[in-house]
Amino acid sequence: MDNEEFRVLLKTLDSFNSYGEDSKRHLVDPRVDIFHGRARNDIALTAKHKELLQELGYKDHLQKVTQAIDSNQAFFDLVLAYSAQHFIPSEDDKNGDAVSPIKDEHNSIKAYLEETLGKYAQGYHAMNMDRDKVRSILKQVAREWTAEGAYERQIINKPIFEWLEKLYPDKDARKDIRIVCPGCGLGRLPFDLCTELGFQAQGNEFSFHMLLVSNFIINIMQQPNCLAVHPFVNSFSNVKSRDIQIRPVIVPDLAASQLLSESDLFSMTSGSFEHVYPLDSYKANCVVTCFFIDTANNIFRYLETIADMLSAGEHWINIGPLLWHFEDDANNIELSVDELKLVIPKFGFEIVHWESIEGVPYSSDLERMGGYRYDVEFWVAKKV
């Protein structure tokens, strides 16, 4: 593992490990302080206000928020205990000079982390961006691996699945068709392509946050419905009732490892899509990009890579918005829908279908009063 990769991994592990402490410090402690009139900016609660808060069960609620955070930390502790070892470099790996591999004398991941973090400067510790990712991965878990997420998944899967069934009507032949899903998050889409439709499918993901959690859910967890997480605990706003914030979801809705145990249809790759593909050992027959292409710095390179992965007559299916991820850093090219329609054919594709689907939620809390709704573009392009 090279030095920079190790730095990102260590920040990621730290953010999982310190989620609970950090969340309580930001969500619970200041609200307790407000109640007791010792907040940095006092909001001047009177005796009557405090009495009302008591009646509403304000402190009980903060207690429940604390418990929900603890439950999330317990989930991340399991991810660290069972999944992190597959990512932390060992002494046998070829490592950069600033990499600290895990050794036999480390009795646990926590012990390794504690010792290792102590040796490194601030840049190797979790930053706000890493903490944001930990919080948002809880919602990603709800989207991908719970029954509650079925509604969101179904909206997006429907047009993809319909087209795949049209392109590959012979179900028995699908086991020889390889579909690659770049930026697959926690891997549910390629998993469903295998288990529901019978294709070979390979997910690809770059983020250590995603990889650690998807490995845990897909490869480690043996039973469905065995862990509770509280994905919505981090926001106090826009709720009809307090319970909305602290309600759990049950993970996973099905046991991936069981369903995949006698199948070799499913696989995952880690690393940057543009660097991993085309992959000599896994010639794709189809590429499905879902909420992915707007993660490009250079969208043209994405298009080139997808084109390089496919042979003439094979298909690329896309669904997602154009909310360019690096827009705020001005470190990408943002294309409009019209421009994509002009550009895609220049990379060797014929556009065979294009439609817009409006008002789509993505890892949203559907019980909240409002949220972001995407209008997504769905297209099918054939390599010529």
Q: How far is the CB of 363 from a second copy (least distance, A)?
A: 14
Nearer of residues 34 and 351 to a second copy, judged by Cβ = 34
16, with CB counted inside 10 A (0-12, 13-18, 19+), is buried
Examine residue 53 and tell whether it contacts a second copy (CB under 8 A): yes
DSSP bridge partners of 270: 205
Can you tell me which of 161, 297, 348, 354 binds a second copy, judged by CB under 8 A?
A: 297
Cβ distance to a second copy smaller for residue 73 or 245 = 245
Reported residue count of the chain is 384
Cβ-based nearer residue to a second copy, 137 or 360: 360
The half-sphere exposure of 82 on its side-chain side, counting CA atoms within 13 A, is 16
Closer residue to a second copy, CB minimum distance, 43 or 312: 43
Amino acid, single-letter form, for residue 174 = R
- Cα 374-375-377 angle, rounded to 5 deg: 125
Measured in degrees and rounded to the nearest 5, phi and psi for residue 265 equal: -75, -30
254, 337, 352, 384: residue in contact with a second copy (rule CB under 8 A): 337
| Contact pick of 226, 342, 352, 384 for a second copy (by CB under 8 A) | 342
Among 249, 322, 380, 381, binds a second copy (CB under 8 A): 322
Three-state DSSP state, 222: coil
Phi, psi angle pair for 266, to nearest 5°: -100, 140
Cα–Cα distance, 182 to 51 (Å, whole number): 54
Rounded to whole angstroms, the Cα distance separating 100 from 115 reads 10
CA angle (71 as vertex; 68, 72 as ends), nearest 5: 90
Kindly state the smallest distance separating residue 44's Cβ from a second copy, in Å: 6
Subset of 235-274 contacting a second copy (CB under 8 A): 235-242, 244
Nearest approach, Cβ of residue 334 and a second copy (Å): 4
Partners of 268 in the beta sheet?
Answer: 203
Q: Please, which residue, 219 or 332, has the CB nearer to a second copy?
A: 332
Given 114, 171, 371, 384, the residue binding a second copy (CB under 8 A):
371
Task: For residues 255 and 263, give the distance between their C-alpha atoms in angstroms, rounded to a whole number.
Answer: 14
**Phi-psi bin for 370: left (phi > 0), alpha (psi -120 to 50), beta?**
left
Residue 331 interacts with a second copy (CB under 8 A): yes or no: yes
Q: What is the dihedral of CA 298, 300, 301, 306, to 10 degrees?
A: 130
x/- track of binding to a second copy for residues 6-45 (CB under 8 A): --------------------xx--xx--x----xxx-xxx
Do residues 252 and 229 lie in contact, with contact meaning Cβ atoms separated by under 8 Å? no
Stretch in the footprint of a second copy (CB under 8 A) among 117-125, 168-176, 297-305, 306-314 = 297-305
Q: Which of 272, 298, 350, 352 binds a second copy (CB under 8 A)?
A: 298
Residue 335 touches a second copy, criterion: CB under 8 A: yes
Q: At closest approach, how far in Å is the CB of 188 from a second copy?
A: 22
Minimum CB separation of residue 318 from a second copy in Å reads: 14
Q: With respect to a second copy, which residue has the nearer C-beta, 1 or 28?
A: 28
Contact in structure between 165 and 196 (CB atoms under 8 Å):
no
Hey, which residues between 299 and 318 contact a second copy (CB under 8 A)?
A: 300-301
339 binds a second copy (CB under 8 A): yes
- Applying CB under 8 A, the span of 47-55, 140-148, 151-159, 190-198 interacting with a second copy comes to 47-55
**Environment class of 247 (CB within 10 Å of its CB; exposed 0-12, middle 13-18, buried 19+):** middle
Neighbours of 50 (CB within 10 A): 14
Would you tell me which residues interact with a second copy (CB under 8 A)? 26-27, 30-31, 34, 39-41, 43-46, 48-49, 52-53, 55-56, 58, 235-242, 244, 294, 297-298, 300-301, 321-324, 327, 329-339, 342-343, 346, 356, 359-360, 368-377
